[in-house]
Amino acid sequence: MSSREDILGRVRARLKRNEANAVIGRADINAALTARAHGPRPAVPTEKSALAGRFREKSTAQSSTLDSVATITDAPAAIARYLTELKLPLHAVVSPSLARQNWQGAGIKAAARGAQDTDLVGITDCFCAIAETGTLMLCSAPDRPATVSLLPETHIALVPASRIVPGMEDAWALARAELGTLPRAVNFISGPSRTGDIEQTIVLGAHGPYRVHLVMIEDL
């Protein structure tokens, strides 16, 4: 007997599985997967500017820094200012989905590809952002490699204010509506990588970025 059959066989025996209760069980599975019920959720404002305010507050609490620009065409210049201010290189790997922005015009030497170990700055967009916890949702795709938000020491993300949703449930609803099936990797990112493993003291920059800088786009 295969291990699969052995394990499932014992679970079935313990649950006193028979044909009648299997029908009821499968109906319950279908009901759960169709209803996709929400549990209790903390109150998050739904009005647009209040949502952005909440996202701002929570993402800052996660140690991200925040800037905002009027339109996406203003983003490269704002990012160049940020990099210059922190004395970071004006070289960046950018998500290919952002290849068409005018990086050169802002003085940023941009390579649109997946990130390599030597890349110090990574610039991405995001699928949406979550106000409840100040979290980014990134979905992998051929033009959105997951490495850009992971390998470089500095991760900069463009966050359209119009793409801020109240909670993770809303983010999933948006993904289902716009993407259909789930992409290979959905990454929820809340601030720079960190560890508290040594004496429960939080240190920023474990294996991922040391800093996460968000550029909110007010009107995309």
Partner 1 sequence: METRARHFKANAAAALANPVLQANLKTSKSKFVDKRAIAIQELDDFEGTREAAKNIRDRVLNNLDLWLEKFEETATARGATVLWAKDSAEICRHVVDIGRRHNVKKAAKSKSMLSEEASLNRALEAAGIQPVETDLGEYILQINDNEAPSHIIAPVVHKSLDEVADLFHATHKTPRKTEISALTREAREVLRPHFLSADMGISGGNFLVAETGSVALVTNEGNGRMVTTLPRVHVVITGIEKVIPTLEDLALLMRLLPRSATGQSISNYVSVLTGVKQPEESDGPEHLYFILVDNGRADVVGSEFHDMLRCIRCGACMNHCPVYQTIGGHAYGWVYPGPMGAILTPLYTGLENAIDLPHASTLCNQCGVVCPVKIPLPELLRKLREKQVDGNLRPLFERLALKAWAWVAGYPMLYGMATWFGVRYLKWLADGKSSIPILGAAPEWSVGRNFPAPEGKTFREMYAKKKGKQ
What residues numbered 147-206 form the site for partner 1, per CB under 8 A? 147, 150, 167-169, 172, 181-201, 203, 205-206
Q: CB-wise, 76 or 145, nearer to partner 1?
A: 145
Q: Which region, judged by CB under 8 A, interacts with partner 1, from 26-34, 49-57, 76-84, 102-110?
A: 26-34
Q: Which region, judged by CB under 8 A, interacts with partner 1, from 24-32, 47-55, 74-82, 98-106?
A: 24-32
Structure tokens at 111: 């390579």
CB-based burial label for 168 (10 Å; 0-12, 13-18, 19+):
middle
SS3 string of 71-103?
CHHHHHHHHHHHHHHCCCCCEEEECHHHCCCCC
Q: Which region, judged by CB under 8 A, interacts with partner 1, from 4-12, 49-57, 85-93, 104-112?
A: 4-12
Single out the residue of 19, 37, 87, 100 in contact with partner 1 (rule: CB under 8 A): 37
Residues between 40 and 99 with contacts to partner 1, criterion CB under 8 A: 40, 42-43, 58, 61-62
Distance CA 88, CA 165 (A): 31
Q: Are 214 and 192 in contact (CB under 8 A)?
A: no
Single out the residue of 10, 48, 81, 109 in contact with partner 1 (rule: CB under 8 A): 10
Give the SS3 label for residue 109: strand
Structure tokens at 107: 């003085």
